[in-house]
Structure 1
Amino acid sequence: MDKKVTVVGAGNVGATAAQRLAEKELCDVVLVDIVEGVPQGKALDLTEAAPIEKHDAHLTGSNGYEETAGSDIVIITAGIPRKPGMSRDDLISTNAGIIKSVTEQIAKYSPNAVLIIVSNPLDAMCHVAFEASGFPKNRVIGMAGVLDSARFRAFIAMELDVSVENTHAFVLGGHGDTMVPLPRYSTVAGIPITELISKERIAELVDRTANGGAEIVGLLKTGSAYYAPASAAVEMAESILKDKKKVLPCAAYLQGEYGINDLYIGVPVKLGKNGVEQVIEITLTEEEKTALMKSAAAVQGLKDDLAKLG
Structure 2
Amino acid sequence: MATEKKTRIVLIGTGAVGSSYAFALLNNNLADELVLIDVNEKKAEGDAIDLNHGLPFSAPMKIWKGDYADCRDADLVVITAGSNQAPGETRLDLLQKNIGIFKTIVSNVMENGFNGIFVIATNPVDVLTYATWKFSGLPHDRVIGSGTILDTARFRFLLGQHFNVDPRNVHAYIIGEHGDTELAVWSKADIGGRPVLDLFKKEGGDHAAKMDQIFTDVRDAAYQIINLKGATYYGIAMGLVRLTRAILRNENSILTVSTLANGSYGLDDVCIGLPAVVNRQGIREIIELDLDEKEKALLAKSADVLKNSLKNVANYF
Using structure 1 for the length normalisation, give the TM-score.
Answer: 0.95
In 1: Cα distance, 2:23 partner to 2:288 partner = 34
Of the structure 1 ranges 193-202 and 37-46, higher mean CA displacement relative to structure 2 is found in 193-202
| Equivalent residues in 2 for 1:68-147, closer than 5 Å | 68-147=71-150
In 2: Cα distance, 1:234 partner to 1:294 partner = 30
Where does residue 164 of structure 2 map in the other structure? 161
In 2: Cα distance, 1:158 partner to 1:291 partner = 26
Answer yes or no: is 1:205 the counterpart of 2:208.
Answer: no
Where does residue 173 of structure 2 map in the other structure? 170
In 2: Cα distance, 1:57 partner to 1:293 partner = 44
Among 268, 271, 281, the residue aligned to 1:274: 281
Where does residue 307 of structure 1 map in the other structure? 314
Paired amino acid for 1:274:
Q
In 1: Cα distance, 2:316 partner to 2:64 partner = 35
Of the structure 1 ranges 105-114 and 238-247, higher mean CA displacement relative to structure 2 is found in 105-114
Asked if the contact 1:22/1:29 (under 8 Å) is kept, the reply is: no
In 2: Cα distance, 1:309 partner to 1:243 partner = 33
Where does residue 268 of structure 2 map in the other structure? 261
Residues 207-244 of structure 1: CA distance to partner in whole angstroms, max 9, x if unpaired? 11111211111111xx3210111111111111110100
Gaps of 5+ in 1: none
In structure 2, do the counterparts of structure 1 residues 16 and 160 end up closer, same or farther at CA, with 3 Å as the change threshold?
same
In 1: Cα distance, 2:96 partner to 2:311 partner = 12
* Structure 2 SS opposite 1:225: coil
In 2: Cα distance, 1:238 partner to 1:244 partner = 8
Residues 33-85 of structure 1: CA distance to partner in whole angstroms, max 9, x if unpaired? 01021111101101101112x211111123x2123331101111000101111
Return the offset for 1:20: 1.5
In 2: Cα distance, 1:133 partner to 1:209 partner = 32
* Structure 2 SS opposite 1:14: helix
Return the offset for 1:309: 6.1
The structure having more radius of gyration, on CA atoms, is: 2
Where does residue 68 of structure 2 map in the other structure? 65
Return the offset for 1:250: 0.8
Displacement over 4 Å in runs of 4+: none
Return the offset for 1:92: 0.8
Among 45, 51, 54, the residue aligned to 1:40: 45
Among 12, 19, 24, the residue aligned to 2:23: 19
> What RMSD, in angstroms, separates the aligned Cα atoms of the two structures?
1.4
* Structure 2 SS opposite 1:264: strand
What number of residue pairs does the alignment pair up? Answer: 306
In 1: Cα distance, 2:7 partner to 2:198 partner = 43
Asked if the contact 1:156/1:205 (under 8 Å) is kept, the reply is: yes
* Structure 2 SS opposite 1:281: coil
In 1: Cα distance, 2:160 partner to 2:315 partner = 43
Asked if the contact 1:72/1:110 (under 8 Å) is kept, the reply is: no
Asked if the contact 2:187/2:292 (under 8 Å) is kept, the reply is: no
* Structure 2 SS opposite 1:178: coil
Asked if the contact 2:175/2:182 (under 8 Å) is kept, the reply is: yes
Return the offset for 1:111: 2.6
Amino-acid identity (%): 30
